[in-house]
Amino acid sequence: MNRTIFLVDGLNLYHSLVEAHHDGNCASTKWLDLKKLCCSYLPLAGQVGGKRAELEHIYYFSASPTHLGQGKIDRHALYMRCLRASGVGVELGRFKKKTVRCKSCNQDFFTHEEKETDVAIATKLFEVCHLDRCDTVILMTGDTDLAPAIVTCKRVFPNKPVFFAFPYKRTNTELAKIAPESFSIKLGTCIKCQFPDPVVLPDGTEIKKPDVW
């Protein structure tokens, strides 16, 4: 058995799904059934690991968009409920206000950046490998900030394959060199792996897909 864990960078994935929505000319790809998506790529994990891959767990790292208004906060919370109900482990960070100076006009303005996610993913990567909770780890991100953690993990745990599932249009050549087994998620797979509408929770609660995103 090849116990496979997915570590998902929620914000990186979200922005890729925005592009997939536009390119696919479909109602939305943001209602993504992450477990269905991950399971569809288990055969690739099996090819790398040399044994039939089985899903051990999915960890989804995100943060509530508290700076973008109540509507987005509510939609994010609904989606988190759907993920948890499907068995995905949700780990939330936070957004922090940041002052940025424009190079063109030399004026300061405020923006927000997600904090703690990269560290949380790197920490979880070493945790699941060190505690032998997996045989293979697949990181769903195209963020190069994780490169040092991946290089170190592959050196410390050489018998545990670690590679990337690049979100749609997030393929990264630098990361692909670190982990040549990596692959890119296709537009058609994003469109196909959507939650039903509504999602019915175990207690019978129905969560309808938001009309506006």
Distance CA 76, CA 60 (A): 13
Interval 128-136 mean pLDDT: 97
The whole-number pLDDT of residue 171 equals: 95
pLDDT, tens digit (0-9, with 9 covering 90-100), for 8-46: 999 999 999 999 988 987 768 999 999 999 999 999 888
pLDDT, tens digit (0-9, with 9 covering 90-100), for 152-187: 999 999 999 999 999 999 999 999 999 999 999 999
Q: 10 Å Cβ neighbour count for 109?
A: 10
Segments making up each domain of the chain, as ranges: 2-207
Confidence of residue 106 (pLDDT cuts 50, 70, 90): low
Q: What is the CA radius of gyration of the chain?
A: 18
Distance CA 43, CA 86 (A): 20
Interval 190-197 mean pLDDT: 95
Asked whether the predicted pLDDT for residue 63 surpasses 90, the reply is no
Model's pTM, two decimal places?
Answer: 0.88
Percent of the chain scoring above 90 in pLDDT = 70
The whole-number pLDDT of residue 107 equals: 62
Domain 2-207 has CATH 3.40.50.2300: no
